[in-house]
Amino acid sequence: MNNEMKMEFDARSENESFARVAVAAFVSELDPTLEEISDIKTAVSEAVTNAIIHGYDGITDGKVTLYCRLEKDVIHIEVEDTGRGIPDVEQAMEPLFTTKPELNRSGMGFPFMEAFMDDLEVISGPGEGTRVLMKKKIGCTPWIGDGE
């Protein structure tokens, strides 16, 4: 069973909840548990919030693209912005690192995404925007290719 969706929305904080619900509805055909839905919604929330807060830094005409693909029992999620990018991805992924302490940002966005998803990759560079790629296997069957 393969299925995909793509949507683009304004980089406004009120659209973060819209993105969470859209992904939760999209993955529902795989019959995820409440815990799996919660994990996915949290990771999407963190990725979208990072795009809005850090990627665009108050620019009101920015866009966030959300792409999801179901491949058998795995959801692939991409959150992309064309904002200012991340100069040092490795540093940005460290727990408690934030470039916005004045906004009471905890620096736990990437660590939460990593904890709640099965795979996380961040592709970014200064002036290039950021792509956050996440995967989560739904259900308790082994990963495709396990045991080979």
- For residue 72, tell me if it sits in a domain: yes
- For residue 143, tell me if it sits in a domain: no
Q: Is residue 105 annotated as a catalytic residue, yes or no? A: yes
One of 16, 50, 80, 131 is an active-site residue; which one? 50
Per-position pLDDT tens, the chain of length 148: 699 999 999 999 999 999 999 999 999 999 999 999 999 999 999 999 999 988 898 777 899 999 999 999 999 999 999 999 988 878 777 766 666 656 655 556 788 889 999 999 999 999 999 999 999 999 876 665 555 4
102 secondary structure, DSSP code: G
- For residue 146, tell me if it sits in a domain: no
- For residue 55, tell me if it sits in a domain: yes
Where in the chain does DSSP place strands (E)?
2-10, 63-71, 74-81, 119-124, 130-137
Output the domain CATH number for residue 96. Answer: 3.30.565.10
User: Domain range holding 21?
Assistant: 2-137
Q: Is the dihedral of CA 7, 66, 14, 10 positive or negative?
A: negative
Task: Decide if 120 contacts 114 (C-beta within 8 A).
Answer: yes
Q: Is the dihedral of CA 84, 89, 91, 92 positive or negative?
A: positive
End-to-end CA distance of the chain: 22
**How far apart, in Å, are the Cα atoms of 80 and each of 70, 122, 142?**
18, 10, 29
- For residue 148, tell me if it sits in a domain: no
Task: Report how far residue 71's alpha carbon sits from residue 2's, in angstroms, rounded to the nearest whole number.
Answer: 5
- For residue 142, tell me if it sits in a domain: no
Q: In total, how many domains does the chain have?
A: 1
Structure tokens at 106: 């905890």
| pTM for the model | 0.87
- For residue 12, tell me if it sits in a domain: yes
Q: Is residue 50 annotated as a catalytic residue, yes or no? A: yes
Task: Decide if 38 contacts 45 (C-beta within 8 A).
Answer: no
One of 36, 46, 80, 131 is an active-site residue; which one? 46
- For residue 56, tell me if it sits in a domain: yes
